């Protein structure tokens, strides 16, 4: 019987995650997986026990993937039946999870400008996986796909129509995380839910009857609430000031908004919420300010989405901060009593497992 495992490749702007999944009792279970980031690559089993770990800096994520797949081949010599990739942005035309074809690769090349930090990496990993696993079908799972149900009233910016026609609109991100949470709450998801995916990148989504109807990230993942190093929403006049008065060029402006803003800027250098909480407990006023701004922006968004949904039946926290920081969850929730009583849940994000679920379905359709 041929091997039926799914290899999941999840590339970020500065890290690579990978995992080999197999279906057991109707659900995708991790066999082996790991990550390459901060000069370390590791491999763990399905119980999160470290099997291998090396200190090594790779020239590219493609090289890191080659190293990881060599490890996987030693533990599981049969090749996977399919490969799934997380792709952050597919532009205006790639709005559904689908098999990777030469035509899809051309379309991704044409929309690099929508996510210049992410799409080139995804293309590189797809090509590297094709070399390592020729003839094995590959599938693209888009972070924007979950939000294709957003109505035009939420998707459009108040800009000329020709820009909307060019693809300048709200796309939304963290869609695979949100899909995984909806999947986990299947049968228990109420009509009106707000999910807060809070990590180094952070966003919220308003979910009605299991479908996205509004979300904070927009054309790019830099929009919405302040994040670890991203600014979130800004007055457009701020950008004009930086261009005209500070004489910033597009590259330096992009670097500022994505890497030197958010919690890092508010706190004077701390981007990790754990460091911020420790500093705030020690009386650091800048750390306290950063936490308060973060929580206030989340509370404002939850309240706004309660208006969009016509009420609130459930608030869900996910992501590294959402799952592990009781301080943030409590601060956000305590400011929302005026909305009435609603349950608050912590639901772990399962992005990679969700990719495996999608790939299994799409692969089975090929048979």
Catalytic residue positions?
143
CA atoms within 13 A on the CB side of 142: 23
The two structure tokens encoding residue 105: 């690769």
Q: Kindly report the three-state secondary structure assignment for every residue of 199-250.
A: CCCEEEEEEECCEEEEECCCCCCCCCCCCCCCCCCCCHHHHHHHHHCCCCCH
* CA dist 15 → 58, 62, 88 (Å): 11, 11, 14
* CA dist 164 → 93, 155, 159, 302 (Å): 13, 9, 8, 27
Work out the angle between the directed axes of helices 326-334 and 285-309 (0-180°, nearest 10): 50
CA dihedral 191, 192, 197, 198 (to 10 degrees): -150
Q: N- to C-terminal Cα distance for the chain?
A: 14
Q: What are phi and psi of 193, to 5 degrees?
A: -130, 140
* CA dist 119 → 114, 160, 194, 213, 253 (Å): 8, 27, 28, 25, 20
The two structure tokens encoding residue 191: 């009509």
Q: What is the rounded distance in angstroms from the CA atom of residue 255 to the CA atom of residue 238?
A: 15
Q: Are 358 and 364 in contact (CB under 8 A)?
A: no
């Amino acid at each position: 019987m041929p091997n039926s495992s799914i290899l999941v490749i999840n590339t970020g702007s500065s890290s690579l995650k990978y995992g080999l999944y197999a279906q057991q009792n109707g659900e995708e279970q991790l066999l082996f997986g790991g990550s390459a980031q901060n000069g370390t690559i590791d491999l763990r089993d399905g119980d999160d026990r470290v099997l291998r770990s090396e200190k090594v800096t790779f020239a590219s994520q493609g090289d890191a993937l080659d190293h990881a797949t060599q490890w996987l081949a030693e533990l599981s010599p049969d090749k996977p039946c399919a490969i799934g990739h997380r792709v952050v942005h597919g532009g205006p035309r790639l709005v559904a999870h689908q098999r990777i074809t030469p035509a899809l690769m051309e379309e991704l090349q044409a929309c690099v400008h929508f996510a210049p930090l992410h799409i080139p990496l995804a293309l590189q990993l797809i090509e590297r996986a094709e070399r390592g696993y020729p003839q094995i079908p590959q599938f693209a799972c888009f972070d924007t796909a979950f939000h294709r149900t957003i109505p035009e009233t939420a998707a459009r910016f108040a800009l000329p129509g020709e820009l909307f026609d060019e693809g300048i609109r709200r796309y939304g991100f963290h869609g695979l995380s949100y899909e995984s949470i909806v999947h986990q709450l299947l049968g228990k998801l109420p009509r009106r839910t707000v999910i807060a995916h809070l990590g180094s990148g952070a966003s919220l989504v308003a979910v009605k009857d299991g479908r996205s109807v509004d979300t904070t990230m927009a054309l790019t993942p830099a929009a919405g609430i302040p994040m670890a190093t991203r600014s979130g929403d800004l007055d457009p006049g701020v950008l004009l000031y930086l261009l005209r008065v500070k004489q910033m060029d597009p590259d330096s402006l992009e670097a500022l908004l994505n890497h030197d803003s958010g919690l890092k800027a508010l706190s004077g250098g701390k981007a990790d919420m754990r460091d911020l909480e420790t500093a705030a407990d020690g009386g650091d006023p800048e750390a306290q300010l950063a936490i308060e701004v973060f929580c206030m922006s989340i509370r404002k968004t939850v309240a706004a989405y309660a208006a969009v949904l016509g009420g609130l039946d459930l608030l869900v926290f996910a992501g590294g901060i959402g799952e592990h920081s009781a301080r943030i969850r409590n601060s956000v929730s305590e400011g929302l009593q005026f909305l009435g009583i609603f349950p608050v849940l912590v639901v772990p994000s399962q992005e990679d497992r969700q990719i495996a679920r999608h790939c299994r379905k799409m692969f089975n359709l090929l048979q």
